[in-house]
Amino acid sequence: MTDFSKTRAAFHLPEGVIYLDGNSLGPLPAGVEARARHAIESEWGDMLIRAWNQAGWMAQPKRVGDRIAKLIGAPAGSVVMGDTLSIKVYQALASALELNPERKVVLSDNGNFPTDLYMADGLLRSLGKEHELRVVDPEAVEASIDDTVAVLMLTHVDYRTGRMHDMASLTKKAHDCGALVIWDLAHSAGAMRVDLTGCNADFAVGCTYKYLNGGPGAPAFIHVRPDLQDKVRPALSGWLGHEAPFAFDLDYRPGAGIERMRVGTPPVVQMTMLEAALDIWDEVDLDDLRARSIELSELFIAEVEKQAPQVTIASPRDPQIRGSQVSLKFEHGYAAMQALIARGVIGDFRAPDMMRFGFTPLYIDENDVRQAVEILAGILETRAWDRPEFTKREKVT
């Protein structure tokens, strides 16, 4: 059994804050600062250029990738770190399209995170081969998979509502129709057990600053199924994905296996922070985590229904098709969220009217949930949100 009081103690959580936004930016794990300092002072500072070999910087993207692989049900050697998730979406889609050259349709849904769709749109335009990005309602995805689809590109858990796609059945249907599948695991990795191998997914991508607590700007990951790795031709053919970067050949030859999905110099300090943040997963059973997450979100929903009639639940009621968050619809959601944050309950807001709350059992418990709802109910009851300072929109919501 995972000891969640122990994991909670492993995070720096400011006094007086109930943090329900770990689905957007995970908090600082206790060991990260010391490891970052070590990387800066002892590695960069003392080893200088030698650290690429001596401190293992060059091997780090794959070493950390292997640890992520365990969390997403992928074999060692199938995940590599680097860049941002937007870039990894682009890479995965470019490679997938090249593996299915006769077809022109990329199928996605309008619950996807906009950057995934933006990156797809940009890629398709620069390919100039009359590809089509077909975006349907999430409920219509399954019926829209047919033998015109080259690539099915979906985010597993909807960032807005927490609605979760059935990864196994959609992957199977796509494969039956001859399409490749890319799963974006931004809101899944570190939130629940994912079984990429069991689903036979072709590609997966995700970020590490949400449920994996790698810190702002932590590098993203990409997974390519082992049997496809030597067939994919990287579109972003940077030197560190080359077979022999230090041969300095003028021609690009892709590296072996997943290494070819590397692009350029990795963010070493940032990746060291992520590597330290991943230590906690050695002590966590993902099934325990998921069970706790469901308990917390069910409690939240039950209490909101009892105490806050002003809002409606925008997330699926069935916890089996809901990720690790609950969203509430409220006309004045932005102001209400600002009022909540002013009282130490931190969630976030997604336009036009969605108040979002993440439930992260590593450091959130039932007390937090009960207290958060009580404070929310008070704000709604007294219209405490109805003040000019709570309506001023910041850049990041």
115 binds ligand PLP (CB under 6 A): yes
Angle at 10 between CA 9 and CA 16, to 5 degrees: 55
Out of 158, 356, 368, 390, pick the active-site residue.
356
Residues shown for the chain: 397
CA dist., res. 192 & res. 323, Å (int) = 8
113 binds ligand PLP (CB under 6 A): yes
- Residue 264: left if φ>0, alpha if ψ -120 to 50, beta else—which one? beta
Scanning 47-55, 112-120, 229-237, 344-352 for contacts with ligand PLP by CB under 6 A, the matching segment is: 112-120
Pairing verdict, β 221-224 and 79-81: antiparallel
Contact present, 301 and 326 (Cβ < 8 Å): yes
Contact present, 293 and 325 (Cβ < 8 Å): no
Q: Which tokens sit at 58?
A: 């060059």
Distance of closest approach, residue 35 Cβ to ligand PLP, in angstroms? 22
Distance of closest approach, residue 130 Cβ to ligand PLP, in angstroms? 26
C-beta neighbour count of 77 within 10 angstroms:
16
18 binds ligand PLP (CB under 6 A): no
Scanning 80-88, 306-314, 316-324, 332-340 for contacts with ligand PLP by CB under 6 A, the matching segment is: 80-88
Question: Cα separations (Å) of 299 from 66, 234, 303, 333, 368?
Answer: 35, 45, 6, 21, 11
- Residue 196: left if φ>0, alpha if ψ -120 to 50, beta else—which one? alpha
Closer of 2 and 86 to ligand PLP (Cβ): 86
Radius of gyration from C-alpha coordinates of the chain: 22
- 158 in catalytic set: no
Distance of closest approach, residue 86 Cβ to ligand PLP, in angstroms? 3
85 binds ligand PLP (CB under 6 A): yes
Distance of closest approach, residue 131 Cβ to ligand PLP, in angstroms? 20
- 363 in catalytic set: no
Which of residues 191, 207, 268, 337 is near ligand PLP by CB under 6 A?
207
C-beta neighbour count of 341 within 10 angstroms:
16
CA dist., res. 336 & res. 351, Å (int) = 13
Which of residues 159, 221, 357, 385 is near ligand PLP by CB under 6 A?
159
Scanning 81-89, 189-197, 231-239, 333-341 for contacts with ligand PLP by CB under 6 A, the matching segment is: 81-89
- 19 in catalytic set: no
- The enclosing H or E element of 121 equals helix 114-127
- 209 in catalytic set: yes
- 116 in catalytic set: no
161 binds ligand PLP (CB under 6 A): no
Scanning 30-38, 179-187, 247-255, 327-335 for contacts with ligand PLP by CB under 6 A, the matching segment is: 179-187
184 binds ligand PLP (CB under 6 A): yes
Tell me which residue of 93, 289, 355 sits closest to 204, measured CA to CA: 93
Question: Cα separations (Å) of 337 from 355, 385, 392, 393?
Answer: 7, 8, 12, 11
Distance of closest approach, residue 113 Cβ to ligand PLP, in angstroms? 3
For residue 352, cis peptide bond before it (omega within 30 degrees of 0): yes
Closer of 24 and 51 to ligand PLP (Cβ): 24
Distance of closest approach, residue 207 Cβ to ligand PLP, in angstroms? 4
158 binds ligand PLP (CB under 6 A): no
Catalytic residue set = 113, 184, 209-210, 356
Q: Which residues bind ligand PLP (CB under 6 A)?
A: 84-86, 113, 115-116, 155, 159, 184, 186-187, 207, 220
